[in-house]
Amino acid sequence: MVLLSVLDVILVVLGGAGMVYQAVCILISLFTKPVRFPEAPMDKRYAVLISARNEENVIGNLITCIQTQTYPKDLIDIWLVADNCTDTTAEVARGMGCHVIERFNQQLIGKGYALTYLLDRMNESGASDPYDAFFVFDADNKLDRHYFEEMNKAFQSGFKILTSYRNSVNLSDNWVSSGSALWFIRESRFLSASRMWLGNSCHVGGTGFMFSQEIMRRNNGWKFHLLTEDLEFTMDSVLHGDRIGYCGTAILYDEQPVTFSQSWRQRLRWSKGFLQVFRYYGPALIKRAIRERDFSAVDFTLLLCPFTVLGIARILLGLLFALCGFVTWQSQLNSLTGWTSGIVMSVVGMMGLAALTIIVERDHVGATNKELFAYVLSFPIYMFSYVPISFQAVFSKAEWKPIEHKG
């Protein structure tokens, strides 16, 4: 009885706090002006870090985007680690003027290990010394031609770590790609922009971010190897007292999975990675939130909290206690009825969130109105599929596996 009551309180209090915070962020984003950075001289030198595994079909697009920026081309160098490649990714990149380091390791698999290998080689040779900061992109990305110019403004305004606006090249392919794309657009428009206005730290996504030479040296290269290495990097930076900035005028496009099986596999890795990061960083974040009164730590504690897992645990425990006679079946049926009402409200809310995202970001969303209407209806299906994914993540051994990109 006590355990069930405690779980109920945790779910209501933390879940309610998370929903209120999300609503506040949406209102801030809608009724305040986004943070803009002043003009800055284009004189900083940047290194682009790319981890690529069998990406011969798409890597040329990203390299071309980088080489045709409004930022001076001679101040941007591209460093690519061809990670366990069996195709011509390395040759394509070399042919386009990139620095290429090949890595073959079937034991330590994943983007985090590849970035570690790349930066270790650069640091050992002194090749990393001339750079003021480092950008990280995925091989399937494309960039607005002003991307570096805009990120340079934010960097020169004082931020040591920055993330950017994440859009998609294939939002309109189907309901799977649209669900993922709308989620990232929502995060950029409603969360990152509002966190900047509030003075909080932002969340570094898996691609389209940068960190300074100082941060790289502090971390001795790249030390993050959990399944969600970007989230791990974010939590480590927050615990060091860094404020991660967001540059909404720097626009990146990536390719989303188009099959449900690919999306499931990717999100299973993310869900497992969230649990890993919560395990390793959750207690320290809570301590920082209390001791330092750091709202960014509160923010990310709510982000990491495994609400789905707690909810499923609450239902299973309720059924178990009813079977054992500790509580009545009627009380648990009443609880399930309340959960059902909550699910219905969540479906309506998710449709509204998807519709609002499309309305306010219509200029950035490439799809017909008919397609967008269908994607608003399908968005809750995409989101609710996280429930079984999150449950599976508790018991499965999710592994990093590449997603095939077509370009």
Ramachandran quadrant class, 212 (left: phi over 0; alpha: psi -120 to 50; beta: rest): beta
Residues facing residue 136 across a β-bridge = 49, 209
> The domain spanning residue 155 has which CATH number?
3.90.550.10
Cα separations (Å) of 121 from 51, 79, 101, 105, 213? Answer: 14, 11, 8, 15, 15
Structural domain count of the chain: 1
Q: Is 406 contained in some domain?
A: no
Domain region containing 360: 1-400
**What pLDDT is stored for residue 5 in this prediction?**
66
**What pLDDT is stored for residue 302 in this prediction?**
85
Closest-CA residue to 67 (of 89, 98, 101): 98
Using one digit for the tens of pLDDT, what is the confidence trace for 62-107?
999 999 999 999 999 999 999 999 999 999 999 999 999 999 998 9
Q: Is 60 contained in some domain?
A: yes
Q: Is 256 contained in some domain?
A: yes
Q: Report residue 118's pLDDT band, with 50, 70 and 90 as the boundaries.
A: very high
Q: Is 407 contained in some domain?
A: no
Q: Is 259 contained in some domain?
A: yes
Q: Is 91 contained in some domain?
A: yes
Q: Is 329 contained in some domain?
A: yes
Using one digit for the tens of pLDDT, what is the confidence trace for 46-63?
999 999 999 999 999 999
Q: Is 204 contained in some domain?
A: yes
Using one digit for the tens of pLDDT, what is the confidence trace for 337-365?
665 666 667 767 788 888 989 998 988 88
Environment class of residue 122 by beta-carbon count within 10 Å: exposed (0-12), middle (13-18) or buried (19+)?
buried
What is the number of other CB atoms lying within 10 angstroms of the CB of residue 192?
Answer: 29
Rg of the chain over all Cα atoms, to the nearest angstrom: 22
Per-residue pLDDT at 400 exceeds 90: no
